[in-house]
Amino acid sequence: MQRSVEVDEFIAGFPTEVQQILQKLRETIQQTAPDAEESINYGIPTFKLEGNLVHFAAYKNHIGFYPGPSGLQAFQEELAGFKGAKGSVQFPLNKPLPWDTIMKLVKFRVEENRTKALAKAQKKSKK
C-alpha cells in the first residue's frame, strides 16, 4: 500500500500522543485492508476499496471513526458504550481504542464493498 503524504500531514497536525493513536489506527486499517487506497476526502483520512471504506479524524476529546451506517449497525453491541451518529462512532482520547472491534469493522466493510462491486459487475454483464 502506498502511503499518502496528505494523511502524513493530517496526522502531523496533532499533539504527539494523538499522532500515535492516529498512526496506530492508520496502520491497523492498512494491515486489515491491504488493498485499500489511502487519501484525504472530506478533509479527513479516507481508505477506499471499491468505494469509500472507512474514514477517521481526531478532535479535541475523541477520535472519530466513520465505517458508515451498515458497519455501525453490524457491530452495535460492541459499540454500545460509545457515542456516535448515523455513520460515525466516537472513541474518547482518554480510553484505549477497541482495536479488535476496529479490525472487525474494517473487514466487514471490505467484504461489504467487494460484494456490492461484484453484484454491480454481474448486473452490468447481464445487460
Q: Can you list the pairs that 45-51 forms with residues at least 24 positions away whose Cβ atoms lie under 8 Å?
A: 45/4, 45/7, 45/10, 45/11, 47/106, 49/110, 49/113, 49/114, 50/113, 50/114, 50/116, 50/117, 51/113, 51/116, 51/117
Phi and psi (nearest 5°) for 14? -115, 160
Percent of the chain with pLDDT over 90: 85
Res 2: pLDDT: 59
C-alpha span between 38 and 89 (Å, rounded): 20
Do strands 37-41 and 44-48 pair parallel, antiparallel, or not at all (unpaired)? antiparallel
The 10s digit of each residue's pLDDT in 59-70 is 999 999 999 999
pTM over 0.95: no
The 10s digit of each residue's pLDDT in 69-78 is 999 999 999 9
The 10s digit of each residue's pLDDT in 19-42 is 999 999 999 999 999 999 999 998
Structural domains of the chain in order of their starting residue, each with its CATH number: 5-120 (3.90.1150.200)
**Whole-number average pLDDT of the chain:** 93
Contact between 112 and 48 (Cβ < 8 Å)? no
- Nearest alpha carbon to residue 22 among 107, 87, 93, 80: 93
- Nearest alpha carbon to residue 89 among 44, 57, 123, 121: 57
Res 127: pLDDT: 64
